[in-house]
Amino acid sequence: MNKKLNTVLFIIGGTVFNVLVTIISFLVLFIICSNLLYGRISENAYGWLLPVIFVASIAASFFIYRLVIKIVVKKIDVEKYFNPLFVSRKRR
């Protein structure tokens, strides 16, 4: 495989991983909050709880993704296997 294909596969894999982590963290946070708050708040309060859980799951997936990428970059020589996404153009 060449560097361009490796880069594309890495981006696709990272995106799929990030979406899965977001979904899993949303479900985990939803289950935790619903079990902790069952019977303690009104059913109308669940309307504002879902957006809060959604934003928290996006934040959690961002931090988990950042940690995983940091570990992968330490273990793999990025310049050897991947093309740079952004190349600076030198002006004359």
User: For each of the chain's 92 residues, which pLDDT tens digit applies?
Assistant: 787 888 888 889 989 999 999 999 999 998 988 888 777 777 777 778 889 999 999 999 999 999 998 998 888 877 777 777 767 776 54
Which residue's entry shows tokens 């708040």? 41
Determine, yes or no, domain membership for 88.
no
Query: How many C-beta neighbours within 10 Å does residue 7 have?
Result: 16
Range of the domain at 24: 3-80
Determine, yes or no, domain membership for 40.
yes
Q: What pLDDT score does 48 carry? A: 84
CA dihedral 71, 69, 58, 31 (to 10 degrees): -40
Determine, yes or no, domain membership for 89.
no
Q: How many domains does the chain have?
A: 1
